[in-house]
Structure 1
Amino acid sequence: MSLLQISNIFMNYHSIKGETQALNDVNFEVNDGEFISILGPSGCGKSTLLNIMSGLLESSNGHVLYKGEDIKKNLDKIGYMFQKDHLFEWYTVWENVILGLKIKKQLNNESKERVSELLDSYGLRRFKNHYPSELSGGMRQRVALIRTLALNPDVLFLDEPFSALDYQSRLLVCDDVHKIIKSEKKTAVMVTHDIAEAISLSEKVIVLSKRPSKVKVEVPMNFAEDDLTPFQKRKAPEFSDYFNRLWKELNQGND
Protein backbone atom coordinates (compact mmCIF):
# COMPACT_ATOMS: atom_id res chain seq x y z
CA MET A 1 0.00 0.00 0.00
CA SER A 2 1.20 3.50 -0.82
CA LEU A 3 1.83 5.87 2.06
CA LEU A 4 -0.38 8.58 0.52
CA GLN A 5 -3.23 8.15 -1.94
CA ILE A 6 -4.64 11.22 -3.64
CA SER A 7 -7.91 10.18 -5.26
CA ASN A 8 -10.40 12.09 -7.42
CA ILE A 9 -9.56 15.52 -5.97
CA PHE A 10 -11.73 18.35 -7.25
CA MET A 11 -11.59 21.92 -5.98
CA ASN A 12 -14.08 24.64 -6.85
CA TYR A 13 -14.02 28.22 -5.59
CA HIS A 14 -17.25 30.20 -5.32
CA SER A 15 -17.59 33.96 -5.52
CA ILE A 16 -20.13 36.61 -6.49
CA LYS A 17 -18.94 36.28 -10.08
CA GLY A 18 -19.58 32.53 -10.14
CA GLU A 19 -17.70 29.28 -9.74
CA THR A 20 -14.03 28.70 -10.62
CA GLN A 21 -12.75 25.16 -10.97
CA ALA A 22 -9.14 24.89 -9.77
CA LEU A 23 -8.53 21.13 -9.62
CA ASN A 24 -10.18 18.58 -11.87
CA ASP A 25 -9.94 14.93 -10.79
CA VAL A 26 -6.35 14.80 -9.54
CA ASN A 27 -5.01 11.30 -8.83
CA PHE A 28 -1.58 9.98 -7.82
CA GLU A 29 0.21 8.08 -5.06
CA VAL A 30 3.26 8.73 -2.90
CA ASN A 31 5.35 5.82 -1.64
CA ASP A 32 7.02 5.58 1.74
CA GLY A 33 10.40 7.35 1.74
CA GLU A 34 9.81 8.97 -1.65
CA PHE A 35 10.61 12.60 -2.48
CA ILE A 36 8.23 13.90 -5.14
CA SER A 37 7.83 17.35 -6.65
CA ILE A 38 4.71 18.93 -8.13
CA LEU A 39 5.23 21.23 -11.11
CA GLY A 40 2.66 23.19 -13.04
CA PRO A 41 1.94 26.50 -14.78
CA SER A 42 1.54 29.59 -12.62
CA GLY A 43 -1.90 29.73 -11.03
CA CYS A 44 -2.73 26.09 -11.68
CA GLY A 45 -3.41 25.27 -8.02
CA LYS A 46 -0.18 23.59 -6.88
CA SER A 47 -0.27 25.11 -3.40
CA THR A 48 -4.01 24.48 -3.18
CA LEU A 49 -3.37 20.81 -3.85
CA LEU A 50 -0.60 20.69 -1.24
CA ASN A 51 -2.93 22.28 1.33
CA ILE A 52 -5.59 19.68 0.56
CA MET A 53 -3.04 16.87 0.84
CA SER A 54 -1.89 18.15 4.24
CA GLY A 55 -5.41 18.50 5.61
CA LEU A 56 -5.27 22.30 5.80
CA LEU A 57 -7.95 22.73 3.14
CA GLU A 58 -11.12 20.79 2.37
CA SER A 59 -11.52 19.65 -1.24
CA SER A 60 -14.84 19.92 -3.08
CA ASN A 61 -14.70 16.19 -3.80
CA GLY A 62 -12.31 13.27 -3.45
CA HIS A 63 -10.09 12.15 -0.61
CA VAL A 64 -6.50 11.95 0.63
CA LEU A 65 -5.54 8.81 2.52
CA TYR A 66 -2.56 8.18 4.78
CA LYS A 67 -1.96 4.41 5.06
CA GLY A 68 -5.58 3.87 4.03
CA GLU A 69 -7.07 6.33 6.56
CA ASP A 70 -8.36 9.87 6.07
CA ILE A 71 -5.44 12.31 6.30
CA LYS A 72 -7.37 14.38 8.86
CA LYS A 73 -7.11 11.49 11.32
CA ASN A 74 -3.32 11.55 10.95
CA LEU A 75 -2.39 15.23 11.19
CA ASP A 76 0.22 14.38 13.81
CA LYS A 77 2.13 12.50 11.09
CA ILE A 78 2.52 15.67 8.99
CA GLY A 79 5.12 18.44 8.93
CA TYR A 80 4.76 21.57 6.79
CA MET A 81 7.45 23.97 5.55
CA PHE A 82 6.21 27.23 4.09
CA GLN A 83 7.85 29.64 1.63
CA LYS A 84 9.05 31.80 4.53
CA ASP A 85 10.82 30.29 7.51
CA HIS A 86 8.46 32.00 10.03
CA LEU A 87 11.12 32.01 12.74
CA PHE A 88 10.39 34.26 15.72
CA GLU A 89 13.06 36.94 15.72
CA TRP A 90 12.94 37.39 19.51
CA TYR A 91 13.59 33.66 20.13
CA THR A 92 16.96 31.96 19.87
CA VAL A 93 17.52 29.05 17.49
CA TRP A 94 16.97 26.63 20.38
CA GLU A 95 13.76 28.38 21.47
CA ASN A 96 12.48 28.34 17.89
CA VAL A 97 13.12 24.64 17.28
CA ILE A 98 11.49 23.48 20.53
CA LEU A 99 8.44 25.73 20.14
CA GLY A 100 6.23 23.08 18.52
CA LEU A 101 7.18 20.56 21.19
CA LYS A 102 6.22 23.05 23.92
CA ILE A 103 2.88 23.81 22.28
CA LYS A 104 2.06 20.10 21.96
CA LYS A 105 3.33 19.44 25.51
CA GLN A 106 5.91 16.98 24.16
CA LEU A 107 8.98 18.74 25.52
CA ASN A 108 10.86 16.30 27.73
CA ASN A 109 14.40 14.99 28.15
CA GLU A 110 14.02 12.60 25.23
CA SER A 111 12.71 15.22 22.81
CA LYS A 112 15.33 17.73 23.94
CA GLU A 113 18.04 15.16 23.23
CA ARG A 114 16.60 14.53 19.77
CA VAL A 115 16.61 18.26 18.98
CA SER A 116 20.20 18.56 20.20
CA GLU A 117 21.21 15.66 17.96
CA LEU A 118 19.50 17.27 14.97
CA LEU A 119 21.26 20.58 15.57
CA ASP A 120 24.57 18.78 15.97
CA SER A 121 24.12 16.56 12.91
CA TYR A 122 23.29 19.46 10.62
CA GLY A 123 25.86 22.01 11.74
CA LEU A 124 23.77 24.27 13.95
CA ARG A 125 24.72 23.31 17.52
CA ARG A 126 27.09 26.27 17.98
CA PHE A 127 24.34 28.62 16.79
CA LYS A 128 21.68 27.37 19.25
CA ASN A 129 21.87 30.58 21.30
CA HIS A 130 21.94 32.88 18.27
CA TYR A 131 18.91 34.81 17.04
CA PRO A 132 17.49 34.42 13.51
CA SER A 133 18.77 37.86 12.48
CA GLU A 134 22.32 36.55 13.03
CA LEU A 135 21.86 33.66 10.57
CA SER A 136 22.14 33.42 6.79
CA GLY A 137 19.02 32.66 4.76
CA GLY A 138 20.18 29.08 4.24
CA MET A 139 20.79 28.54 7.94
CA ARG A 140 17.35 29.92 8.74
CA GLN A 141 15.80 27.34 6.42
CA ARG A 142 17.75 24.56 8.13
CA VAL A 143 16.47 25.80 11.48
CA ALA A 144 12.90 25.82 10.12
CA LEU A 145 13.31 22.26 8.84
CA ILE A 146 14.74 21.04 12.16
CA ARG A 147 11.84 22.72 13.98
CA THR A 148 9.50 20.70 11.77
CA LEU A 149 11.48 17.48 12.25
CA ALA A 150 11.53 17.96 16.04
CA LEU A 151 7.91 16.75 16.08
CA ASN A 152 9.03 13.61 14.20
CA PRO A 153 6.49 13.67 11.35
CA ASP A 154 6.41 10.88 8.77
CA VAL A 155 5.56 13.17 5.83
CA LEU A 156 6.91 16.62 5.00
CA PHE A 157 5.01 19.04 2.78
CA LEU A 158 7.18 21.81 1.33
CA ASP A 159 5.62 24.81 -0.38
CA GLU A 160 8.38 26.43 -2.48
CA PRO A 161 10.70 26.40 0.54
CA PHE A 162 13.67 27.97 -1.27
CA SER A 163 11.91 30.74 -3.18
CA ALA A 164 13.01 33.50 -0.79
CA LEU A 165 16.71 32.65 -1.19
CA ASP A 166 19.22 33.94 -3.72
CA TYR A 167 20.41 31.49 -6.38
CA GLN A 168 23.67 30.45 -4.71
CA SER A 169 21.97 29.92 -1.35
CA ARG A 170 19.24 27.86 -3.03
CA LEU A 171 21.80 25.48 -4.49
CA LEU A 172 23.48 24.99 -1.12
CA VAL A 173 20.26 24.64 0.85
CA CYS A 174 18.82 22.15 -1.64
CA ASP A 175 21.74 19.87 -0.87
CA ASP A 176 21.32 20.44 2.87
CA VAL A 177 17.57 19.84 2.92
CA HIS A 178 17.81 16.76 0.70
CA LYS A 179 20.51 15.28 2.94
CA ILE A 180 18.50 15.94 6.10
CA ILE A 181 15.25 14.49 4.72
CA LYS A 182 16.98 11.37 3.42
CA SER A 183 19.04 10.91 6.59
CA GLU A 184 15.89 11.14 8.68
CA LYS A 185 14.10 8.71 6.30
CA LYS A 186 11.15 11.03 5.69
CA THR A 187 8.67 11.12 2.83
CA ALA A 188 8.48 14.53 1.15
CA VAL A 189 6.11 16.29 -1.26
CA MET A 190 7.32 19.63 -2.61
CA VAL A 191 5.60 22.26 -4.71
CA THR A 192 7.98 24.26 -6.88
CA HIS A 193 7.97 26.31 -10.08
CA ASP A 194 11.67 25.56 -10.63
CA ILE A 195 12.22 22.67 -13.06
CA ALA A 196 15.89 22.22 -12.15
CA GLU A 197 15.02 22.12 -8.47
CA ALA A 198 12.36 19.45 -9.05
CA ILE A 199 14.71 17.26 -11.09
CA SER A 200 17.63 17.50 -8.69
CA LEU A 201 15.66 16.80 -5.50
CA SER A 202 13.04 14.29 -6.54
CA GLU A 203 12.56 10.63 -7.29
CA LYS A 204 9.43 11.54 -9.23
CA VAL A 205 8.01 14.73 -10.72
CA ILE A 206 4.27 15.21 -11.19
CA VAL A 207 3.27 17.77 -13.82
CA LEU A 208 -0.12 19.46 -13.54
CA SER A 209 -1.98 20.92 -16.50
CA LYS A 210 -3.34 24.44 -16.77
CA ARG A 211 -6.41 25.24 -14.69
CA PRO A 212 -8.64 23.35 -14.11
CA SER A 213 -5.67 21.18 -13.23
CA LYS A 214 -5.26 17.47 -13.63
CA VAL A 215 -2.15 15.29 -13.67
CA LYS A 216 -0.64 15.47 -17.16
CA VAL A 217 2.27 13.14 -16.54
CA GLU A 218 4.35 11.50 -13.82
CA VAL A 219 8.06 11.37 -14.67
CA PRO A 220 10.41 9.16 -12.60
CA MET A 221 13.88 10.66 -12.16
CA ASN A 222 16.39 7.89 -12.88
CA PHE A 223 20.10 8.69 -12.85
CA ALA A 224 22.76 6.17 -13.80
CA GLU A 225 24.84 7.01 -10.73
CA ASP A 226 23.39 6.42 -7.29
CA ASP A 227 23.82 8.72 -4.30
CA LEU A 228 24.32 11.91 -6.29
CA THR A 229 23.65 15.14 -4.42
CA PRO A 230 21.10 17.53 -5.96
CA PHE A 231 23.98 19.76 -7.12
CA GLN A 232 25.76 16.80 -8.75
CA LYS A 233 22.55 15.79 -10.54
CA ARG A 234 22.49 19.17 -12.27
CA LYS A 235 25.76 18.21 -13.99
CA ALA A 236 24.73 14.63 -14.84
CA PRO A 237 24.08 13.73 -18.52
CA GLU A 238 20.43 12.81 -17.82
CA PHE A 239 19.63 16.24 -16.39
CA SER A 240 19.18 18.11 -19.69
CA ASP A 241 16.89 15.40 -21.09
CA TYR A 242 14.63 15.59 -18.06
CA PHE A 243 14.69 19.39 -18.16
CA ASN A 244 13.67 19.49 -21.84
CA ARG A 245 10.88 16.96 -21.31
CA LEU A 246 9.41 18.80 -18.33
CA TRP A 247 9.75 22.17 -20.06
CA LYS A 248 7.82 20.77 -23.02
CA GLU A 249 5.09 19.36 -20.77
CA LEU A 250 4.69 22.66 -18.94
CA ASN A 251 4.45 24.70 -22.11
CA GLN A 252 2.05 22.53 -24.04
CA GLY A 253 -1.67 23.23 -23.91
CA ASN A 254 -4.13 21.01 -22.08
CA ASP A 255 -4.66 17.58 -23.55
Structure 2
Amino acid sequence: MSLLKISDLSMNYHSIKGETKALNNINFEVDNEEFISILGPSGCGKSTLLNIISGLLSPSSGSVLYKNEDIKNNLNKIGYMFQKDHLFEWLTVWDNVLLGLKIKKQITKENIERVDALLETYGLSKFKNHHPSELSGGMRQRVALIRTLALDPEILFLDEPFSALDYQSRLLVCDDVFKIIKKEKKTAIMVTHDIAEAISTSKRIIVLSQRPAQIKKELYISFTKENLTPFDRRKEPEFKEYFDDLWKELDQCNE
Protein backbone atom coordinates (compact mmCIF):
# COMPACT_ATOMS: atom_id res chain seq x y z
CA MET A 1 0.00 0.00 0.00
CA SER A 2 1.28 3.45 -0.92
CA LEU A 3 1.94 5.95 1.83
CA LEU A 4 0.17 8.71 -0.12
CA LYS A 5 -2.37 8.46 -2.93
CA ILE A 6 -3.28 11.58 -4.88
CA SER A 7 -6.38 11.03 -7.01
CA ASP A 8 -8.05 13.25 -9.62
CA LEU A 9 -6.93 16.51 -8.00
CA SER A 10 -8.22 19.69 -9.60
CA MET A 11 -8.13 23.24 -8.28
CA ASN A 12 -10.07 26.29 -9.47
CA TYR A 13 -9.75 29.80 -8.10
CA HIS A 14 -12.73 32.16 -8.26
CA SER A 15 -12.64 35.94 -8.38
CA ILE A 16 -14.75 38.83 -9.64
CA LYS A 17 -13.11 38.40 -13.05
CA GLY A 18 -14.14 34.75 -13.24
CA GLU A 19 -12.66 31.31 -12.73
CA THR A 20 -9.00 30.36 -13.05
CA LYS A 21 -8.15 26.68 -13.35
CA ALA A 22 -4.84 25.99 -11.57
CA LEU A 23 -4.63 22.18 -11.48
CA ASN A 24 -6.30 19.63 -13.71
CA ASN A 25 -6.71 15.95 -12.86
CA ILE A 26 -3.45 15.24 -10.99
CA ASN A 27 -2.82 11.57 -10.11
CA PHE A 28 0.19 9.89 -8.53
CA GLU A 29 1.24 7.80 -5.53
CA VAL A 30 4.12 8.13 -3.07
CA ASP A 31 5.90 5.19 -1.46
CA ASN A 32 7.44 5.11 2.00
CA GLU A 33 10.90 6.78 2.20
CA GLU A 34 10.63 7.99 -1.40
CA PHE A 35 12.05 11.42 -2.32
CA ILE A 36 9.97 13.08 -5.03
CA SER A 37 10.46 16.47 -6.68
CA ILE A 38 7.68 18.42 -8.38
CA LEU A 39 9.12 20.45 -11.24
CA GLY A 40 7.41 22.85 -13.59
CA PRO A 41 7.43 26.32 -15.17
CA SER A 42 7.02 29.39 -12.98
CA GLY A 43 3.42 29.99 -11.95
CA CYS A 44 2.16 26.55 -13.00
CA GLY A 45 0.77 25.70 -9.54
CA LYS A 46 3.57 23.67 -7.92
CA SER A 47 3.15 25.24 -4.49
CA THR A 48 -0.64 25.02 -4.77
CA LEU A 49 -0.30 21.29 -5.39
CA LEU A 50 2.05 20.91 -2.42
CA ASN A 51 -0.35 22.81 -0.15
CA ILE A 52 -3.23 20.55 -1.19
CA ILE A 53 -1.24 17.33 -0.73
CA SER A 54 -0.13 18.48 2.73
CA GLY A 55 -3.69 19.26 3.79
CA LEU A 56 -3.17 23.03 4.05
CA LEU A 57 -5.54 23.73 1.17
CA SER A 58 -8.72 22.00 0.01
CA PRO A 59 -8.95 21.04 -3.68
CA SER A 60 -11.96 21.82 -5.86
CA SER A 61 -12.20 18.08 -6.52
CA GLY A 62 -10.23 14.92 -5.90
CA SER A 63 -8.65 13.39 -2.82
CA VAL A 64 -5.37 12.95 -0.94
CA LEU A 65 -5.16 9.78 1.14
CA TYR A 66 -2.55 8.90 3.74
CA LYS A 67 -2.65 5.11 4.22
CA ASN A 68 -6.21 5.14 2.80
CA GLU A 69 -7.37 7.89 5.17
CA ASP A 70 -7.98 11.56 4.41
CA ILE A 71 -4.73 13.51 4.85
CA LYS A 72 -6.59 16.11 6.93
CA ASN A 73 -7.18 13.46 9.58
CA ASN A 74 -3.43 12.78 9.72
CA LEU A 75 -1.86 16.24 9.88
CA ASN A 76 0.29 15.08 12.80
CA LYS A 77 2.10 12.83 10.30
CA ILE A 78 3.40 15.72 8.19
CA GLY A 79 6.14 18.32 8.48
CA TYR A 80 6.53 21.41 6.28
CA MET A 81 9.66 23.37 5.36
CA PHE A 82 9.13 26.74 3.70
CA GLN A 83 11.40 28.86 1.51
CA LYS A 84 12.45 30.86 4.57
CA ASP A 85 13.47 29.23 7.84
CA HIS A 86 10.97 31.29 9.93
CA LEU A 87 13.14 31.01 13.04
CA PHE A 88 12.28 33.41 15.86
CA GLU A 89 15.23 35.74 16.25
CA TRP A 90 14.63 36.37 19.96
CA LEU A 91 14.69 32.65 20.80
CA THR A 92 17.77 30.47 21.11
CA VAL A 93 18.34 27.50 18.81
CA TRP A 94 17.17 25.21 21.62
CA ASP A 95 13.95 27.15 22.16
CA ASN A 96 13.31 27.31 18.40
CA VAL A 97 13.61 23.54 17.89
CA LEU A 98 11.35 22.85 20.87
CA LEU A 99 8.68 25.33 19.78
CA GLY A 100 6.45 22.85 17.95
CA LEU A 101 6.58 20.40 20.83
CA LYS A 102 5.65 23.18 23.27
CA ILE A 103 2.71 24.31 21.12
CA LYS A 104 1.43 20.73 20.90
CA LYS A 105 2.16 20.15 24.59
CA GLN A 106 4.44 17.23 23.81
CA ILE A 107 7.39 18.21 25.98
CA THR A 108 8.40 14.86 27.43
CA LYS A 109 11.74 13.51 28.58
CA GLU A 110 11.81 11.18 25.58
CA ASN A 111 11.14 13.99 23.07
CA ILE A 112 13.72 16.29 24.65
CA GLU A 113 16.33 13.54 24.51
CA ARG A 114 15.50 12.88 20.85
CA VAL A 115 15.83 16.57 19.91
CA ASP A 116 19.09 16.79 21.83
CA ALA A 117 20.36 13.76 19.90
CA LEU A 118 19.33 15.35 16.57
CA LEU A 119 21.28 18.52 17.39
CA GLU A 120 24.30 16.43 18.36
CA THR A 121 24.13 14.22 15.27
CA TYR A 122 23.85 17.14 12.86
CA GLY A 123 26.53 19.36 14.35
CA LEU A 124 24.40 21.94 16.15
CA SER A 125 24.74 20.87 19.77
CA LYS A 126 27.32 23.52 20.67
CA PHE A 127 25.08 26.21 19.17
CA LYS A 128 22.06 25.41 21.38
CA ASN A 129 22.31 28.72 23.23
CA HIS A 130 23.01 30.83 20.15
CA HIS A 131 20.41 32.99 18.46
CA PRO A 132 19.54 32.63 14.74
CA SER A 133 21.36 35.87 13.87
CA GLU A 134 24.60 34.20 14.97
CA LEU A 135 24.21 31.31 12.51
CA SER A 136 25.01 30.92 8.82
CA GLY A 137 22.16 30.47 6.34
CA GLY A 138 22.93 26.77 6.08
CA MET A 139 22.91 26.27 9.83
CA ARG A 140 19.59 28.10 10.09
CA GLN A 141 18.06 25.68 7.56
CA ARG A 142 19.37 22.73 9.56
CA VAL A 143 17.78 24.19 12.70
CA ALA A 144 14.49 24.64 10.81
CA LEU A 145 14.61 21.02 9.64
CA ILE A 146 15.36 19.72 13.14
CA ARG A 147 12.46 21.80 14.49
CA THR A 148 10.26 20.01 11.94
CA LEU A 149 11.76 16.58 12.77
CA ALA A 150 11.21 17.21 16.49
CA LEU A 151 7.52 16.37 15.92
CA ASP A 152 8.59 13.09 14.28
CA PRO A 153 6.58 13.45 11.04
CA GLU A 154 6.51 10.63 8.50
CA ILE A 155 6.32 12.91 5.46
CA LEU A 156 8.21 16.13 4.82
CA PHE A 157 6.90 18.76 2.40
CA LEU A 158 9.64 21.06 1.13
CA ASP A 159 8.64 24.27 -0.67
CA GLU A 160 11.81 25.43 -2.45
CA PRO A 161 13.73 25.14 0.84
CA PHE A 162 17.07 26.33 -0.58
CA SER A 163 15.93 29.24 -2.74
CA ALA A 164 16.81 31.92 -0.17
CA LEU A 165 20.48 30.83 -0.09
CA ASP A 166 23.39 31.80 -2.31
CA TYR A 167 24.55 29.16 -4.81
CA GLN A 168 27.42 27.71 -2.78
CA SER A 169 25.30 27.51 0.37
CA ARG A 170 22.50 25.86 -1.62
CA LEU A 171 24.81 23.05 -2.67
CA LEU A 172 26.07 22.48 0.86
CA VAL A 173 22.67 22.71 2.55
CA CYS A 174 21.07 20.50 -0.10
CA ASP A 175 23.61 17.81 0.82
CA ASP A 176 22.91 18.33 4.53
CA VAL A 177 19.13 18.17 4.22
CA PHE A 178 19.25 15.16 1.89
CA LYS A 179 21.49 13.23 4.31
CA ILE A 180 19.28 14.06 7.29
CA ILE A 181 16.10 12.99 5.49
CA LYS A 182 17.71 9.71 4.38
CA LYS A 183 19.22 8.98 7.79
CA GLU A 184 15.92 9.67 9.56
CA LYS A 185 14.11 7.49 6.96
CA LYS A 186 11.54 10.13 6.04
CA THR A 187 9.42 10.44 2.92
CA ALA A 188 9.87 13.79 1.15
CA ILE A 189 8.03 15.76 -1.52
CA MET A 190 9.87 18.85 -2.73
CA VAL A 191 8.73 21.66 -5.00
CA THR A 192 11.53 23.27 -7.00
CA HIS A 193 12.09 25.18 -10.23
CA ASP A 194 15.74 24.05 -10.26
CA ILE A 195 16.29 21.07 -12.60
CA ALA A 196 19.74 20.26 -11.16
CA GLU A 197 18.38 20.34 -7.61
CA ALA A 198 15.60 17.92 -8.53
CA ILE A 199 17.93 15.44 -10.24
CA SER A 200 20.51 15.57 -7.45
CA THR A 201 18.04 14.71 -4.68
CA SER A 202 15.16 12.72 -6.12
CA LYS A 203 14.18 9.16 -6.78
CA ARG A 204 11.38 10.42 -9.03
CA ILE A 205 10.58 13.75 -10.68
CA ILE A 206 7.05 14.80 -11.60
CA VAL A 207 6.99 17.42 -14.36
CA LEU A 208 3.96 19.70 -14.53
CA SER A 209 2.72 21.51 -17.62
CA GLN A 210 1.79 25.16 -17.77
CA ARG A 211 -1.41 26.20 -16.00
CA PRO A 212 -3.81 24.54 -15.73
CA ALA A 213 -1.15 22.11 -14.57
CA GLN A 214 -1.29 18.47 -15.52
CA ILE A 215 1.36 15.81 -15.08
CA LYS A 216 3.38 15.99 -18.28
CA LYS A 217 6.02 13.42 -17.38
CA GLU A 218 7.24 11.20 -14.54
CA LEU A 219 10.95 10.47 -14.61
CA TYR A 220 12.62 7.88 -12.38
CA ILE A 221 16.17 8.82 -11.42
CA SER A 222 18.82 6.11 -11.15
CA PHE A 223 22.62 6.30 -11.04
CA THR A 224 25.06 3.45 -11.68
CA LYS A 225 26.94 4.34 -8.52
CA GLU A 226 25.02 3.87 -5.28
CA ASN A 227 24.70 6.07 -2.19
CA LEU A 228 25.79 9.26 -3.93
CA THR A 229 25.25 12.62 -2.24
CA PRO A 230 23.41 15.31 -4.23
CA PHE A 231 26.73 17.04 -4.90
CA ASP A 232 28.29 13.80 -6.15
CA ARG A 233 25.34 13.07 -8.43
CA ARG A 234 26.05 16.29 -10.30
CA LYS A 235 29.42 14.87 -11.44
CA GLU A 236 28.03 11.67 -12.94
CA PRO A 237 27.41 11.18 -16.71
CA GLU A 238 23.74 10.27 -16.09
CA PHE A 239 23.19 13.72 -14.59
CA LYS A 240 23.62 15.52 -17.94
CA GLU A 241 21.31 13.05 -19.70
CA TYR A 242 18.55 13.64 -17.15
CA PHE A 243 19.16 17.40 -17.26
CA ASP A 244 18.87 17.55 -21.06
CA ASP A 245 15.69 15.45 -20.97
CA LEU A 246 14.03 17.67 -18.35
CA TRP A 247 15.21 20.87 -20.00
CA LYS A 248 13.44 19.85 -23.21
CA GLU A 249 10.25 19.13 -21.28
CA LEU A 250 10.31 22.51 -19.52
CA ASP A 251 11.31 24.33 -22.70
CA GLN A 252 8.26 22.84 -24.43
CA CYS A 253 6.13 24.03 -21.48
CA ASN A 254 7.09 27.60 -22.35
CA GLU A 255 6.27 27.38 -26.06
Letter in 1 for 2:220: P
Deviations 1:1-48 (A, max 9, x none): 111111100000000000000000011111100000000010000000
1:89-238 correspondence runs (5 A): 89-238=89-238
Q: Where has structure 1 moved over 2 Å in runs of 4 or more?
A: none
- The one-letter code of the counterpart of 1:98 is L
**CA 253–87 in structure 1, closer or farther in 2 if over 3 Å, else same:** closer
**Shift in Å at residue 108 of structure 1?**
1.1
CA deviations 1:161-214 (Å, max 9, x no partner) are 000000000000010000000000000000000000000000000000000001
Q: Is the CA contact (8 Å cut-off) linking 2:159 and 2:190 kept in structure 1?
A: yes
Superposed displacement of residue 98, structure 1: 0.2
Q: Distance in 1 between matches of 2:71 and 2:246?
A: 29
TM-score of the aligned structures, taking structure 1 as reference length: 0.99
Count of paired positions: 255
Supply the AA of the counterpart residue of 2:73.
K
How far apart in 2 are the matches of 1:174 and 1:156?
14
- Look up the SS of the partner of 1:32 in the other structure: coil
1:56 aligned partner = 56
Cα distance in 2 for residues equivalent to 1:29 and 1:246: 21
Distance 1:130 1:227 in 2: 33
Question: 2: CA distance between counterparts of 1:164 and 1:64?
Answer: 29
The one-letter amino acid paired with 2:95 is E
User: Which whole-Å CA distance do the structure 2 matches of 1:77 and 1:188 have between them?
Assistant: 12
Unaligned runs of 5+ in 1: none
Q: Tell me, in whole angstroms, the C-alpha distance in 2 between the residues paired with 1:208 and 1:7.
A: 15
CA deviation after TM superposition for structure 1 residue 251, in Å: 1.3
Paired residue for 2:83?
Answer: 83
1:254 is displaced (CA, Å) by 8.6
- What amino acid sits opposite 2:28 in the alignment? F
Q: What are structure 2's unaligned runs of at least 5 residues?
A: none
Q: Secondary structure at the match of 2:158?
A: strand
CA–CA separation in structure 1 for the residues paired with 2:68 and 2:241: 36
Query: 1:30, 1:252 → 2: CA distance?
Result: 26
Looking at structure 2, the residues matched to 16 and 251 of structure 1 have their Cα atoms a distance apart, in angstroms, of 33
CA RMSD of aligned residues (A): 1.0
Tell me the distance in 1 between the aligned counterparts of 2:239 and 2:170: 18
How far off its partner does 1:253 sit? 4.0
Q: Deviations for 1:203-241, whole angstroms, at most 9, x for unmatched residues?
A: 000000000001001100000000000000000110000
Structure 1 counterpart of 2:15: 15
Is 2:47 aligned against 1:33?
A: no
| Alpha-carbon distance in 2 for matches of 1:216, 1:158 | 21
TM-score between the two structures when normalised by the length of structure 2: 0.99
